[in-house]
Amino acid sequence: MISIKTQEEIKIMAEAGNILAEIMRQVKSAVRPGITTQELNKLAQEFIFKSKAEPAFLGYDDFPAVLCTSVNEVIVHGAPSEYALKQGDILSLDLGIIYKGYFSDMAITVPVGEISMEAWQLIRAVKKCLSIAIKKTRPGNTFGDVGNTIERYLEKRGLCVVKELCGHGIGKALHEEPEILNYGKRRKGEELKEGMVLCLEPMAGIGTGKIRKAPDKYGLQTADDSLSAHFEHTIAITHNGSRILTE
């Protein structure tokens, strides 16, 4: 069952989202050629504790870090390591926190130095896709409407939707009902209602869209080693639309 949050709960989750967005901004500003993904993880951990929050990912399904660092073909859940980022890489940062008992979750994909035009187009398309999907997330529409919007936008740009991964509800748990697919049919699925708090997270690649386990055993990557990008916001459904909590 999809939980409906009270205004007081959404207020706390907005506070959590503001904290998370600021931490992500600081981590993003540290991304450069030569820095290791483990160094970025350490920075994120420092920022979380300074903010009087708790890491949401550390220990979740035995994940060994607070920050997911997914490089190039890795779509999600890449574990930080001693890998030093290189000019031309693209890096997906996925971070979650717990604040006053509530979870918040967001992800961005960023360039490392100068990147190819193909990589830029991928990043811009997935970021824009999230923005369009959020506008579609309002009372009266269905989850099928949202998934269909994501799928059509990305496929029109020659990208492949990663259909085996999805968004989710969020609140007192990191992953709550429902699963939010990045594809679907209009007017199908459950109707969106005021008070739902959701994580929308389109993921796309320039290859086939098929996935496999990454060598680190935590990440999931494109099966054909093609580039991928991932963006995510935590949003609340209001009476007149949606409100981004992770800004």
Q: What are the two backbone dihedrals, phi and then psi, of residue 65, each rounded to the nearest 5 degrees?
A: -145, 175
pTM over 0.75: yes
SS3 of 84-126? ECCCCCEEEEEEEEEECCEEEEEEEEEECCCCCHHHHHHHHHH
Angstrom distance (rounded) from CA 168 to CA 199: 5
Angstrom distance (rounded) from CA 28 to CA 93: 8
The tokens of 191 are what? Answer: 């109707």
Over residues 61-99, the pLDDT tens digits come to 999 999 999 999 999 999 999 999 999 999 999 999 999
CATH number of this structure's domain 7-239: 3.90.230.10
Domain spans, the chain: 7-239
**Max CA pair span of the chain:** 48
Angstrom distance (rounded) from CA 154 to CA 151: 5
User: Cβ(31)–Cβ(40) under 8 Å?
Assistant: yes
Over residues 205-238, the pLDDT tens digits come to 999 889 999 999 999 999 999 999 999 999 999 9
